[in-house]
Amino acid sequence: MSGNKSREQRIIRASWNSIIGNAFLSVIKITAGFLSGSMALVADGVDSASDIITSLITLITARIISKPPDLKYPYGYEKADTIASKLLAFIIFFAGAQLAISTIQRLISGQKPEIPAMFAIIVACVSIIGKQFLAYYLTRVGKNSDSEMLKTNARNMQSDVVISSSVLMGLVFTHILNLPILDLITALAVSVWIMYVAIRIIIKSSYSLMDRIDDPAIYKSIANAVACVPGAFNPHRIRARKMAHFYVIDLDIEVDGSLSLFQAHEITHEIENNIKAQIPNIYDVIVHVEPLGDDSSNEVYGVSGKDLQK
């Protein structure tokens, strides 16, 4: 439990730092965007403002996932991490869609845009440096705490670096070519990129909710852990699913039917310890014992040790 508490504190601290950093960047970009007349810089600032909301959601979720299991949620609250990632993605997508709509309205209005002031370029450079630092920081903390929320937020920050770089290039070329419409085109491109990143996050978070395992090699590790235990045979109906950064493992094994209950119990304990030694972040291991030679041909769920040998 102390490890979970420490993980929660790291996530909360990272979320607060993200809120403060994004609040600063959002204010200077939106203010500078309006003062300089750069719609692209305003769009970049609005994107940073949406990042404040995502960090607040991360902060709230960090407290939820720290709650111990109860009767309603016997597996605990760790899945809230994945649900929060999906919610963050929807917010990011909504921000991108709003930017796209407002930019398109400006493009078709026929109103002649003005060349943005030069100081907008300086603010865009500050944004790139700030976002790159936040992306690096959240990626490091997200990996260390194995938090999908923070890693999602870090990917969002990394995409913001691309956004701010695009805004900078748009501003530079706007001044070089004396074409103020380039600023609006850049703003539209930024909004499309934001929506694209959001869709990718939605797809990835859906994998976790559907219990997809990104690295099937985990099944070989489980089968190898069983093979190392004398008296354990035919691991089958192996199933693994992630609950935030934890794994829940279910499997069936066969043992000699003449063994005592105590002996069979000792074998399952040894298998459980082997699995925990080979695979990090195990939440629980459930081993079902069957007599040797039991017909399991009709069992359609999970992975069989025989399948891994093909």
CA-angle at 89, arms to 88 and 92, nearest 5°: 90
Indicate whether 91 pLDDT > 90.
no
Distances from the Cα of 292 to the Cα of 207, 258, 271, angstroms: 35, 9, 16
Distances from the Cα of 28 to the Cα of 55, 103, 143, 184, 236, angstroms: 19, 20, 30, 19, 58
Phi and psi for 286 in degrees, rounded to 5? Answer: -115, 115
Q: What is the pLDDT of residue 287?
A: 93
Q: What is the pLDDT of residue 195?
A: 85
Give the tokens for residue 84.
């929060």
Question: What pTM value is reported for the model?
Answer: 0.64
pLDDT tens by residue, 184-235? 787 788 788 878 878 888 888 788 778 778 778 888 899 999 999 999 998 9
Q: What is the pLDDT of residue 1?
A: 47
* pLDDT, mean of residues 241-260: 87
Rounded CA-CA distance 204/152 in Å is 10
* pLDDT, mean of residues 33-56: 77
Indicate whether 262 pLDDT > 90.
yes
Q: What is the pLDDT of residue 164?
A: 81
Q: Average pLDDT, whole number, for the chain?
A: 81
Strands 246-255 and 282-291: parallel
Indicate whether 88 pLDDT > 90.
no
Q: What is the pLDDT of residue 153?
A: 77
Q: What is the pLDDT of residue 263?
A: 93
* pLDDT, mean of residues 93-119: 76
Q: What is the pLDDT of residue 267?
A: 94
Contact indicator for 128, 9 with CB cutoff of 8 Å? no
Q: What is the pLDDT of residue 171?
A: 79
pLDDT band at 111 (very low <50, low <70, confident <90, very high): low
Question: Which residue is associated with the tokens 């909504």?
Answer: 94
Indicate whether 273 pLDDT > 90.
yes
Strands 233-243 and 246-255: antiparallel
Contact indicator for 281, 248 with CB cutoff of 8 Å? no
Q: What is the pLDDT of residue 2?
A: 52
Question: Which residue is associated with the tokens 């026929």?
Answer: 110
Domains of the chain and CATH, by start: 2-209 (1.20.1510.10), 217-308 (3.30.70.1350)
Q: What is the pLDDT of residue 266?
A: 94
* pLDDT, mean of residues 251-264: 92
pLDDT tens by residue, 160-198? 787 788 788 877 877 777 777 777 787 788 788 878 878
pLDDT tens by residue, 287-305? 999 998 877 667 667 777 6
Q: What is the pLDDT of residue 37?
A: 76
Contact indicator for 148, 201 with CB cutoff of 8 Å? no
For the ranges 3-7, 103-107, 272-276, 277-281, the lowest mean pLDDT is seen at: 3-7
